[in-house]
Chain A
Amino acid sequence: MKRSYLGFIALAVLGLLAPYTGAYPIFLMKALCFALFACAFNLLLGFTGLLSFGHAAFFGSAGYVLGHSMKVWGWSPEAGLLIATAASGVLGVLIGGLAIRRQGIYFAMITLALAQMIYFFCIQAPFTGAEDGLQGVPRGVLFGVFDLSDDMSMYYLVLAIFLLGFMLIDRTVHSPFGQVLKAIRENEARALSLGYEVDRYKLLAFVLSAALSGLAGATKTLVLGFETLTDVNWPLSGEVVLMTLIGGIGTLFGPVVGAFLIITLQNELADKVGSWVQVILGAIFVLCVLAFRRGIVGELSARFGSRKNA
Chain B
Amino acid sequence: MKKTLMATLVGAAMMTGSGTMFAQGAGKGADKGKAAGGISGGVVKIGVITDMSGLYADLGGEGSVTAARMAAEEFGNRVAGVAIEVVGADHQNKPDVGANKIREWYDTQNVDMVSDALNSAVGIALAKISAEKNKLAMISGAATSRLTNEDCNANTIHYGYDTYALANISGNAIVKAGGKSWFFLTSDYALGHSLENDTGGWVKRAGGEVKGAVRHPLNASDFSSFLLQAQASKAQVVGLANAGGDTINSVKAAVEFGLTKNQTLAGLLVFITDIHSLGLQNTQGMYLTDGWYWDLNEDTRKFGKRFFERMKKMPSMIHAGTYSATLQYLKAVQATNSDDPKVIRAYLSKTKMNDMFHKNAWLREDGRVIRDMYLMQVKKPSESKYPWDYYHVRATVPGEQAFQPLAQSKCSLIKK
Which residues of A are interface residues toward B (Cβ below 8 A)? 3-4, 6-8, 10-11, 14, 18, 21-24, 26-28, 30-31, 120, 123-124, 126, 129-133, 135-136, 220, 224-226, 228-231, 253, 256-257, 260-261, 264, 266-271, 274-278, 296-297, 300-301, 304-306, 309
Q: Is A257 touching B101 in the complex (CB atoms < 8 A)?
A: no
> Which single residue of chain A is at the shortest CB-CB distance from B120?
A132
- Contact of A271 with B101 at beta-carbon distance under 8 Å, contacts A14-B14, A31-B18 already known: yes
Question: Closest chain B residue to A125 by CB distance?
Answer: B190
Residues of chain B contacted by A120 (CB below 8 angstroms): 218
Q: Is the CB of B26 within 8 A of A3?
A: no
Tell me the complex Cα distance, A306–B62, Å: 47
A24 and B15 contacting across the interface, CB-CB below 8 Å? no
Q: Which residues of B2-28 have CB atoms within 8 Å of chain A's CB atoms? A: 2-15, 17-19, 21-23, 25-27
Partner of B6, one of A7, A226, A228, A264: A7
- Nearest first, the 10 closest Cβ-Cβ pairs linking A and B are A7-B7, A130-B190, A271-B89, A22-B23, A133-B121, A21-B19, A14-B11, A3-B3, A275-B52, A6-B4
Query: Which of chain B's residues 56-113 have a Cβ closer than 8 Å to chain A?
Result: 57, 61-62, 87-97, 99-101, 103-104, 107-108
B22 A27 Cβ-Cβ under 8 A? yes
**A residues in contact with B26, CB < 8 Å:** 22, 24
Is the pair A267, B100 in contact by a Cβ cutoff of 8 Å?
yes
A224 contacts B22, CB within 8 Å? no
A270 and B91: CB pair below 8 A? Answer: yes
Closest to A274 in B: B52
**B104 in complex: contacting residue of A22, A24, A305, CB < 8 Å:** A24
Would B1 and A3 count as touching, CB distance under 8 A?
A: yes
Residue numbers in A under 8 Å from B4 (CB-CB): 3, 6-7, 10
Point out the residues of chain B lying under 8 angstroms from A278, CB to CB.
53, 92
Secondary structure of the A contact surface, majority rule: helix
Using Cβ atoms and an 8 Å threshold, which residues of chain A touch B3? 3-4, 6-7, 301, 306, 309
Closest residue on chain B to residue A268 by CB atoms: B21
From A126, which residue of chain B is reached at the shortest CB distance?
Answer: B190
Contact among B22, B25, B95 for A226, CB-based, below 8 A: B95
| CB closest residue in chain B, given A297 | B10
B105 closest partner in A (C-beta): A271
* Interfacial chain B residues near A21, Cβ < 8 Å: 15, 19, 23
12 sample A-B contacts, Cβ–Cβ < 8 Å, listed by A number: A22-B23, A26-B100, A27-B104, A136-B124, A224-B125, A230-B94, A253-B6, A266-B97, A268-B21, A274-B52, A277-B53, A305-B2
Partner of B19, one of A22, A220, A230, A256: A22
Q: State the CA gap A24–B95 with chains docked (Å).
A: 18
Establish whether residues B53 and A220, one from each chain, have CB atoms under 8 Å apart when the complex forms.
no
The CA of A11 and the CA of B9, in the complex, are separated in Å by 10
**Is there contact, CB below 8 Å, between B57 and A275?**
yes
A136 vs B146: C-alpha distance in the bound complex, in angstroms? 12
Nearest CB on B from A91, distance (A): 21
Bound complex: CA A131 to CA B118 (Å)? 12
Does A274 lie within 8 Å of B88, measured CB to CB? yes
Set of chain B residues within 8 Å of A270, measured between Cβ atoms: 89-92, 97, 101
* Residues of chain B lying within 8 A (CB to CB) of residue A264: 17-18, 21
Which residues of chain B are near A7, meaning CB under 8 Å? 3-4, 6-8
| Chain A residues, Cβ within 8 Å of B107 | 24, 26
Task: Tell whether A297 pairs with B121 under 8 Å between CB atoms, given A257-B14, A271-B87.
Answer: no
CB of A255, distance to nearest CB on chain B (Å): 11
Are A135 and B124 within 8 A (Cβ)? yes
Which chain B positions have C-beta within 8 A of A305? 2
Q: Is residue B151 within 8 Å, beta carbon to beta carbon, of the partner chain?
A: yes
Are B2 and A123 in contact, CB atoms less than 8 angstroms apart? Answer: no
Q: Are A225 and B128 closer than 8 Å at their CB atoms? A: yes
Tell whether, in the assembled complex, residue B22 and residue A124 are in contact, meaning their CB atoms are under 8 Å apart: no
Alpha-carbon distance between A7 and B8 when the two chains are bound, in angstroms: 7
In the bound complex, residues from chain B placing their C-beta under 8 Å from that of A297 are 6, 10
Is the beta-carbon distance between B121 and A26 smaller than 8 angstroms?
no
User: In the assembled complex, which residues on chain A have CB atoms less than 8 Å from the CB atom of B8?
Assistant: 7, 10
- Give CA–CA (A270, B125) in the complex, Å: 17
Interface membership of B343, Cβ < 8 A: no
A304 touches B5 (CB 8 A): yes
Q: Is B191 an interface residue (CB 8 A)?
A: yes
- In the complex formed, the residue of A with least CB distance to B30 is A22
Q: Contacts A133-B95, A133-B121 known; A27 to B18 CB distance under 8 Å?
A: yes
Q: Does B2 lie within 8 Å of A304, measured CB to CB?
A: yes
B189 at the interface (CB under 8 A from A): yes
Q: Is the CB of A11 within 8 A of B101?
A: no
A226–B121 contact, CB under 8 A? yes
Q: How far is the CA of A126 from the CA of B190 in the complex (A)?
A: 8
Contacts of A256 in B (CB 8 A): 10, 14
Task: Among A132, A224, A275, point to the contact of B90 (Cβ < 8 A).
Answer: A275
B144 lies within 8 A of chain A by Cβ? yes
Q: Are A136 and B151 in contact (CB under 8 A)?
A: yes
- Residue of chain A at shortest CB distance from B61: A275
How far, in Å, is B82 (CB) from chain A's closest CB?
21
The smallest beta-carbon distance between A61 and chain B, in angstroms, is 16
B126: min CB distance to chain A, Å: 10
A24 and B7 contacting across the interface, CB-CB below 8 Å: no
B17 contacts which chain A residues (CB < 8 A)?
Answer: 260-261, 264
Contacts of A126 in B (CB 8 A): 190
Extra 20 A-B pairs, beta carbons < 8 Å, given A3-B3, A123-B218, A278-B92: A4-B3, A6-B7, A7-B8, A14-B15, A18-B15, A22-B22, A130-B189, A133-B124, A135-B128, A224-B100, A230-B93, A260-B17, A270-B91, A270-B97, A270-B101, A274-B88, A276-B53, A301-B6, A306-B2, A309-B3
Q: How many angstroms between the C-alpha atoms of A309 and B3 in the bound complex? A: 7
How far apart are B132's CB and chain A's nearest CB, in angstroms? Answer: 8
Residues of B within 8 A of A132 (CB): 120-121, 124, 144, 146, 190
Q: Please, which residue of chain A has its CB at the minimum distance from the CB of B5?
A: A304
Q: With A133-B125, A297-B6 as known contacts, state yes or no: A124 contacts B104, CB within 8 Å.
A: no
A96 to chain B, nearest CB (A): 26
> What's the minimum C-beta distance from B173 to chain A, rounded to whole angstroms?
26
How far does the alpha carbon of A228 sit from the alpha carbon of B95 in the complex, in Å? 7
Q: Is the CB of A300 within 8 A of B6?
A: yes
Chain B positions 325-342 with a Cβ under 8 Å from a chain A Cβ: none
Chain B minimum-CB-distance residue to A236: B94
A267 adjacent to B121 (CB under 8 Å): no
A257 touches B13 (CB 8 A): yes
